[in-house]
Chain A
């Protein structure tokens, strides 16, 4: 992991490059001319109304969805060019889902060790040590031998974050990680994400948690109807949104 970064894009190396990315579902134009460059250590928050394409955008990065036009590169490897490249990309990109998606038939520890063992070929003992390190990191080591169904939503989401971190990814994608949580559990997950951000992890977060965006984001991106409408550092983004659609959206979600 890189050292804690202080300024936006501290190391400057390009981690993700999206050029003229297009995606359709049938006749529905889900992503239109998406151009986005994320540098190593950068923390990006994507917001926008539902159906605006923000989840689709990050799901194209690790090819859970396949883009149909343009080009996506992760750490120099083109997504979709070869299956070998795809394996490499997926191993380097961690993802956290809205609905946690832990494996219910495996313990917390097994959830965390499976991919390091099977994808990275790490020995079981070592994989367990890595898993415990990250479970401690998300402050949940005492639950290691429980099954996901025995944990609260907030705990499950923290395990999901630990599971992704066990692959020591270069980028973390968060797809509305707090949207399925009860209100009292949102904070524990956000705190985990904030601490991750402070450690310099490259992150792209789809979220409506604007407090989180203000606190950690280097850049906030607003999407609508499959397009990136506006982007900027949180100070200017929230204080002086230039686009009418951005203003309307912020007016709807920032009620104070």
Chain B
């Protein structure tokens, strides 16, 4: 029996937004933590470490995110570790985010002029101090805008978690559509909600780009 699309259905969609946001937040925090490690590894003084991180990035940038989610979800279950869809999606998006953020931040670290490395080295500062006090604070300024840009991408990527059965915004849309059979209306609303989430982030990213765009000398 086909239901009407009422405010109850709309509220169902709105309530699913929190799962989209939660998944985005977990994946962003996890991806950021992993991304720092990947970026540091990519710029490390050891060739084997750079190569390892490079391979990691190539694998995650060279395969579809959906396959990565499948592999985590079904792979974990195959090895007897029953993971729920949220955990699987969070792990998959974290691994993927770490690769992309790591590569973005590698570029930001390498954009810092060679003279800054040399001056801090010549002063006798150790790697950790050099990174913490000199390189990363300057790299962070350049990184802010593209990082927020990536966050927009990440919010939209969480829609793929619907396919492994995690009820976030897109999956909620599918459920409502199955009951009401008003695909254009339902997915139009779903898309509009994504836009409302992402648009301010895009604006913010552009604002940050202008604010930090001029590199201080």
Query: Which residue numbers of A lie inside 8 Å of B, CB to CB?
Result: 62, 64, 87, 90-91, 93-95, 97, 99-106, 114-115, 118-119, 147-149, 160, 163-164, 167
Of B18-26, B121-129, B184-192, the one contacting chain A is B121-129
Contact A118 B125 (CB under 8 A): yes
Contact B125 A119 (CB under 8 A): yes
Residues of B within 8 A of A94 (CB): 122
B133 at the interface (CB under 8 A from A): yes
Residues of B within 8 A of A105 (CB): 137-138, 141, 216
B134 at the interface (CB under 8 A from A): yes
Contact A90 B122 (CB under 8 A): yes
Nearest chain B residue, comparing its CB with the CB of A98: B115
Given contacts A97-B115, A101-B119, contact A91 B124 (CB under 8 A): yes
Query: Which residue numbers of B lie inside 8 Å of A, CB to CB?
Result: 113, 115-116, 118-126, 129, 133-134, 137-138, 141, 216-217
Which residue of B116, B123, B138, B217 is within 8 Å of A114 (Cβ)?
B123
* A-B interface pairs (CB < 8 A), number: 64
Interface majority SS on B: helix, strand, loop or mixed?
helix
Nearest chain A residue, comparing its CB with the CB of B115: A101
Contact A104 B216 (CB under 8 A): yes
Residues of A within 8 A of B134 (CB): 103
A100 CA to B129 CA, complexed, in Å: 20
A147 CA to B216 CA, complexed, in Å: 10
Contact B124 A167 (CB under 8 A): yes
Nearest chain A residue, comparing its CB with the CB of B121: A64
A94 CA to B122 CA, complexed, in Å: 7
Q: Smallest CB–CB gap between B191 and chain A, Å?
A: 41
The 8 A-B residue pairs whose C-beta atoms are closest, nearest first, are A101-B119, A101-B115, A115-B123, A90-B124, A91-B124, A95-B122, A119-B124, A118-B129
A94 CA to B133 CA, complexed, in Å: 19
Contact B217 A149 (CB under 8 A): yes
